[in-house]
Amino acid sequence: MITIKDIAKEAKVSEGTVDRVLHNRGGVSKKTEAKIKKILKHHDFSVNPIASALAMKNKYFIATLIPEHNDLDLFWKSPYLGVLKAAEDVKSFGVQVTNFGYNQYDPNSYLNTFNALLETKPTAVIMVPNFSAETKKIVNQLEALNIPYLFVNIDIDGFNNIGFVGQDSYKAGYIAGKFMHLSLPNPSTFLIIQARHNITKNNAVSNRIKGFNDYFIKNKLDSTTQTLKIENLSSSTETKEKINSYLKNHPEIKGVFVPSSRIYIVVDCIEDNYLKQLECIGFDNTPQNIACLLNDSVSFLISQKPFDQGYEAIRLLTEYLLKNEISNTKHYLPIDILIKENVKYNERNEFNVVDV
């Protein structure tokens, strides 16, 4: 028997779009509506009124706990917009989504925002577990209330989350190491620049660094890595002095690896006479990072599809709420390697979407 999912796949639209056409809810272009209706007619598809009524009675409330975004750190805007898009698509299944944003550098903001979230009595929670100790406190409360939860972007072992959506961070770091080696095949020294707040809280960053180092170890290459830890990775005078002083004192460094979305800040801090001699690799297709790729100050960006992280998390948790099962507990997204020549084909337009 053909389903809404089958219709959506044939029409190349979301299931939510098909549902809006079926129930005359509007919000679909006339061209798309006509296309869907033609497919529906071809398959002699009709809505089961009993099943539809049951679906409308089942109300589920998903709450998301993800970092806030701003003009200097646009990475988290993309997962947020993915959540918004998915929230619209799952409305027809009786699922409502509410977003809660916290300061990713402040564990108290993380806990306080969660407490506000908990007051809404969610059916399930999607969260970015930025801080290990605070995550334990949050998870203990969720499990005591029998509220299922799913991790996004950062995967921490030892918890009973029903699933994870994000990048295989170790493999991504390993790939970064491989591309650094391809760029600099002779034995070289590479510098890993890491913000101190990531050292203890961000499992994804530490896994990328391990993957990067393991590439050279497992392939028995003579290249070595050094690490520069900076308290607050920003375009401040202090940060610039620290990075350039390090490069001056270590002329053997040929490449720079930034295992976070802030390589554009590092590039902005490095003096031109050093930058032109370096191969730089970073993460994420934020507008600032893409600008660095296009002006040749960054050689490669590794994209973890942040928009899809938000969208897929809502989709998978909805699947779990409706079916009491999840098809893939580790939902790893594709690892895209972006260069100057292909980045325009990878860019999404979510950064141009207006928040409402």
pLDDT in tens, 309-336: 999 999 999 999 988 888 778 999 999 9
Lowest mean pLDDT among 97-111, 168-182, 189-203: 189-203
| 226 CA to centre of own chain | 27
| 236 CA to centre of own chain | 27
Token pair in block for residue 111? 């806990």
Q: Which CATH entry fits the domain spanning 58-166+306-334: 3.40.50.2300, 3.50.50.60, 3.30.70.20, 3.60.10.10?
A: 3.40.50.2300
Radius of gyration of the chain (CA): 23
Measured N-to-C along each axis, helices 306-323 and 77-90 cross at an angle, to the nearest 10 degrees, of 30
CA distance 151 to 136: 13
Q: How many CB atoms lie within 10 A of CB 312?
A: 22
Closest CA to 202 of 163, 236, 162, 169: 169
212's CB contacts (< 8 A; 6+ apart) are 173, 174, 176, 177, 180, 192, 225, 257, 259
Token pair in block for residue 237? 């005078």
Token pair in block for residue 349? 């337009």
pLDDT recorded at residue 201: 54
In tens, the pLDDT along 20-58 reads 787 776 778 888 889 988 988 888 877 665 455 555 566
Specify which residues 101 forms β-bridges with: 66
Q: Are 255 and 183 spatial neighbours (Cβ–Cβ below 8 Å)? A: yes
Q: How confident is the model at residue 250 (pLDDT cuts 50, 70, 90)?
A: very high
pLDDT recorded at residue 353: 43
**Residue 157 pLDDT > 60:** yes
Same topology between domain 58-166+306-334 and domain 169-303: yes
The pTM is what? 0.77
Q: What secondary structure letter does DSSP report for 260?
A: S
Q: How far is CA 338 from CA 217, 269, 281, 328, in A?
A: 25, 22, 10, 27
C-alpha torsion angle, residues 295, 153, 312, 345 (rounded to 10)? 10
DSSP per residue, 8-40: HHHHTS-HHHHHHHHTT---S-HHHHHHHHHHH
Domain positions in the chain: 4-48, 58-166+306-334, 169-303
169-303 has CATH 3.30.230.70 classification = no
- Name the average pLDDT for the chain: 87
